[in-house]
């Protein structure tokens, strides 16, 4: 048999409409900018304006003011992207269902064990799943962390404009909740690092699933589709298609 030509039939699942894919990549770019500028704000390791006359430094070199402006602009992009993701939940079944950790389904628990063994290179394969239980938990978790950054970020932002919208509606009670500005900065900083760790693991998992498990994982966030070989109908098929459709496919396989 010719190794690089394989004749197989596939189930094709259309998971994400273009809006969701664009949301994902815009969110990625916003967080990248926020992380880099945020680290700089917390610890200005490079003072671009040193040696310049004050007015020139402000206009021409990377001043702290400019870095903060970029951070806040990316912050607004992240806020609107987050609200858009909530809106997307109402536009397509899979945009909602694939985010739910379905702990009441037997495949969820079996999936956790099988996927862990698979990632540890102990098992060669796991239950066919469009989105595995660990990924579901991780995505809900990271979306909550992103919400936390937006919340604490705008609370700090409001402190520099005490009569503005953010100060009135977010900063005061948030500050009371955290106890001090120091705590607020501290937790905003800590969660930035937790998100960074998520991204490292997430990218590793995506490439692992694409190159090693050959699930066409990356294509789900570019082309919007995932393929499963015939006979391996995913257990969570009804997160994308109707129950009737999945039942029919199951009977045929």
Cα 3 from chain centroid (whole Å): 36
Q: How far is the CB of 235 from ligand HEM (least distance, A)?
A: 15
> 164: how many CB neighbours lie within 10 A of its CB?
13
Binding of ligand HEM at residue 126 (CB under 6 A)? no
Between 156 and 237, name the residue whose CB sits nearer to ligand HEM. 156
Residue 13, beta-bridge partner list: 226
Instruction: Indicate whether 58 belongs to the interface with ligand HEM (CB under 6 A).
Output: no
Quick check: 175 binds ligand HEM (CB under 6 A)?
A: no
Phi and psi for 12 in degrees, rounded to 5? -115, 120
Distance CA 202, CA 144 (A): 16
Query: What residues does 169 pair with on adjacent strands?
Result: none
Q: Which of 115, 150, 167, 241 binds ligand HEM (CB under 6 A)?
A: 150
Give the one residue of 26, 117, 206, 213 binding ligand HEM; rule: CB under 6 A: 206
Kindly tell me which of 223 and 248 has the beta carbon lying closer to ligand HEM.
223
# chain residues binding ligand HEM, by CB under 6 A: 43
Of 75 and 133, nearer to ligand HEM (C-beta) is 75
Helix, strand, or coil here: 225? strand
Exposed e or buried b per residue across 123-143, where buried means at least 16 C-beta atoms within 10 angstroms of its C-beta: eeebbbbbbbbebbebbeebe
Range in contact with ligand HEM (rule: CB under 6 A) among 30-38, 102-110, 121-129, 238-246: 30-38
Residue numbers 76-105 binding ligand HEM by CB under 6 A: 78-79, 98-99
| In contact, 13 and 225? CB cutoff 8 Å | yes
Instruction: Take residue 67 and report the two structure tokens written for it.
Output: 């870095």
Chosen residue from 26, 57, 195, 213 binding ligand HEM by CB under 6 A = 195
- Closest to ligand HEM by CB, 181 or 245: 181
Contact range with ligand HEM by CB under 6 A, out of 104-112, 143-151, 227-235, 243-251: 143-151
Kindly state whether residue 233 participates in binding ligand HEM, applying the rule CB under 6 A.
Answer: no
Closest separation in Å from C-beta 1 to ligand HEM: 30
To the nearest whole angstrom, how small is the minimum distance from the Cβ of residue 251 to ligand HEM? 26
Q: Does 240 bind ligand HEM (CB under 6 A)?
A: no
Interstrand relation of 225-229 and 10-14 (parallel, antiparallel or unpaired): antiparallel
H/E element holding 11? strand 10-14
Backbone dihedral angles phi then psi of residue 14, each to the nearest 5 degrees: -90, 105
């Amino acid at each position: 048999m010719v190794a690089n030509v394989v004749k197989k039939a596939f189930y094709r699942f259309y998971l994400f409409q273009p809006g969701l894919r664009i949301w994902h990549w815009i969110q990625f770019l916003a967080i990248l900018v926020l992380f880099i500028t945020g680290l700089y704000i917390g610890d200005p390791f490079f003072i671009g304006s040193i040696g310049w006359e004050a007015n020139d430094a402000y206009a021409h070199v990377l001043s702290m003011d400019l870095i903060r402006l970029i951070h806040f602009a990316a912050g607004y992009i992240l806020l609107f992207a987050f609200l858009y993701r909530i809106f997307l939940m109402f536009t397509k079944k899979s945009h909602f269902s694939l985010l739910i950790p379905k702990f009441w389904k037997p495949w969820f628990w079996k999936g956790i064990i099988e996927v862990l063994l698979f990632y540890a290179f102990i098992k060669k394969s796991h239950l066919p799943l469009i989105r595995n239980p660990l990924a579901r938990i991780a995505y809900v978790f990271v979306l909550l962390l992103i919400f936390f950054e937006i919340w604490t970020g705008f609370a700090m932002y409001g402190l520099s404009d005490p009569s503005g919208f953010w100060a009135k509606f977010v900063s005061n009670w948030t500050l009371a909740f955290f106890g001090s500005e120091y705590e607020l900065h501290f937790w905003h900083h800590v969660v930035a690092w937790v998100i960074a760790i998520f991204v490292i693991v997430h990218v590793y998992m995506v490439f692992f699933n694409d190159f090693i498990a050959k699930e066409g994982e990356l294509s789900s966030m570019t082309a919007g589709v995932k393929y499963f070989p015939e006979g391996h109908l995913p257990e969570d098929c009804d997160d994308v298609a109707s129950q009737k459709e999945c039942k029919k496919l199951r009977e045929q396989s």
